[in-house]
A and B are shown apart, each in its own frame.
Chain A
Amino acid sequence: MEELILELKQRIIEALNLEEMTPDEIDAQEPLFGEGLGLDSIDALELIVLLEKNYGIRLANPAEGKEIFKSVESIAQYVSEHRTK
């Protein structure tokens, strides 16, 4: 799981153009949206693309993302359970 979390952090930094951040600066339990990292609805769409492209996970409904994208840890949990690649 630690490995997946690091991989996700790197992919998130790349996909969301968080150029000045390093994986260490993202707390895996920290909320990604709102108070924590401060991501927005476009970032949520980028995360949906990221899941499909890298892990073969297709979210049928963007609303599903809300729970999954709470933190890097929750994404890692979801990916490990649902990945097809």
Chain B
Amino acid sequence: MKKTNIVITGQGIISAIGNDKEAVLDSLRHQRTGIGTMQHLESEHKELPVGEVKLSNDGLKTLLGINVSHELSRTALLGMVALRQAINESDLITFKRTHPGKRVVLVSGTTVGGMDLTEKHFNTFTDENANIDCLRQHDCGSNTELMARYFDGLFDDNTAISTACSSAANALILGANLLKAGLADIVVAGGTEALSRFHLNGFNSLQILDKEICRPFDDTRAGLNLGEGAAFVVMEREDHASAHGAEIYGYLTGYGNACDAFHQTASSPDGEGAYLAMTQALDMAGLASSDIRYINAHGTGTPNNDQSESAALKRVFGDELPPVSSTKCYTGHTTSASGSIEAVICLLAMRHGFIPTNLGWSHPMADGITPSTSAEECEINHVLCNSFGFGGNDSSLILSRQATSGGNDISFKDIDVTVAAEVEITDEAQLADIRDYVKPLEARRMGRIMKSSLLSSLRALEQAGIEKPDAIITTTMWGCLDYSERLLEQLRDEGEVLLKPTYFMQSTHNTIGSNIAIRLGCHGYNVTYAHVGTSLEWALRDAHLLLQSGRYHSVLVGLHDEMTPLLRSLLEREGIPMIPSSIYSRAIVLTCGR
């Protein structure tokens, strides 16, 4: 089978350790962390160190030439800065001008989206004349659209992926698949995430934030530090890049996406999802584990992640573990942006021949891996970059200096796709039926959207006669609105206290799809699109690609949304599209001939 080589022809990055790739490189080489005392986020929790970008919103707007009076989410602003660098590096604007027929697509990962603005204005939402413009920037997809619009006319299409901390890695994976399938000529993919009080307090209530600078893989590790930032890469097919003489910064030779299907907020003890993602990536690249010269671990610094990831790394690499480090001790955990921020760090490490050190490590953990702590210069040809998200959305990327030969590349051919079943739930009264499938102890903390999504999915699978689908693709416009609103109310009424953990862990968009995967024990491909308007279209396109690859024979696609009375009244006033009832779930099972 002929391989389609995917190359990186542009990079952009902004993070706590620098506002561009030169500054990031300098910080990494001089082992300077960017984590420190909060300067920009307006939170009471000054005791929590964070990896902030060292620019205010006004500073970012000035950098971008945007009027400071224009209110834009920090997520979009950070994304624009990183995008602009990547676009400039590959001279994409000129390319598009001279090749107007070429299809350029933006794929961005985010979960926070415009929550920074929503939380700022939420307390006035109940006022009669409240300024609710910010709701137009709340969903993940609208941030991606704002970013696309900043580069007037460059992007033919855009979408938003939200799988929590693996969002950006999954954006690169989708981008590569679009290129291999010929659905795009150039994809700019990555992720962006701003700090918000909402998720800082949420992570705090899960008791996984360290009050000191994080120490990934250290026995004394006590949690993560949140960070923010954005990174994007320009991706093309190699022949396409060569045809217009683009400089090639690296190859995306392999990738894998699997679901741990274990727990909403914890990784399994043996790291099954991580293991599957890494082995899929190696298989696609045609590499043996011994070919990898550096691993950029997910390495958040939480007791659970580092234990689970160590176990998975040992399963893949045995005793021959290459140098490993987590660069979250520099940037903080940039959640949805971490996949692309760390991919750009890997590209820098390859190009400049050095292993980024794992800061703060001194005590080996029981059964843990030993990360790289001394600055090491070496030739690196292949790197593995891990990104794992809440709910077990685990993805791995392999970046290489050259194309690899062999390997099990993914390719797509025309195939008949059948809708094997479709189930719609539009009435809240139907949710009581969840009891037919789930024990009361399990159902008790599921929000409405969790119940409607699970119930519609289980029924659709039942109708299709499929016990477990090969992949689960979820799409949502507004995500888990009900619990998110309750957390915002808690912040308004009680201040920055410990938020209700049950609500927070069900506030991320990918909770829906991972809940279904956990229920079914489904370790297959699992992603979530979050975009008002077009996310179902994208989910169906992705499902078709999976089926056309011949690797997946059944895909569960679901569009799941919920509405609250407050949001309904506000959205109605703004004329923003919404679902007609308090819940809406549509589960579709797609199959191809077995």
- Chain A residues with a Cβ under 8 A of chain B: 16-20, 38, 41-42, 45-46, 48-49, 52-53, 62
Contacts and interface: CB of A to CB of B under 8 A. Distances in A.
Given A42-B264, A42-B445, A46-B502, A20 B440 contact: yes
Nearest to B498: A49
B444 A52 contact: no
B502 A53 contact: no
B73 to A, nearest CB: 29
Contacts of A52: 497-498
A15 B315 CA distance: 39
Given A41-B266, A42-B264, A42-B265, A18 B444 contact: yes
Chain A binding site: helix, strand, loop or mixed by DSSP? helix
Interface in B417-469: 440-441, 444-445
Interface residues of B, number: 18
B205 interface: yes
A19 to B, nearest CB: 6
A38 B444 CA distance: 13
A46 B500 CA distance: 7
A45 B444 contact: no
Contacts of B441: 38
B140 to A, nearest CB: 25
Contacts of A53: 497-498
Given A52-B497, A53-B498, A45 B440 contact: no
Contacts of B263: 41
Contacts of B205: 45, 49
B54 to A, nearest CB: 31
A53 B207 CA distance: 15
B571 interface: no
B502 A17 contact: yes
A62 B444 contact: no
B444 A16 contact: yes
B207 A48 contact: yes
Contacts of A18: 444
Interface in B464-515: 497-502, 505
Given A48-B207, A49-B205, A62-B207, A42 B444 contact: no
Given A42-B264, A42-B265, A62-B207, A49 B445 contact: no
A48 B500 CA distance: 10
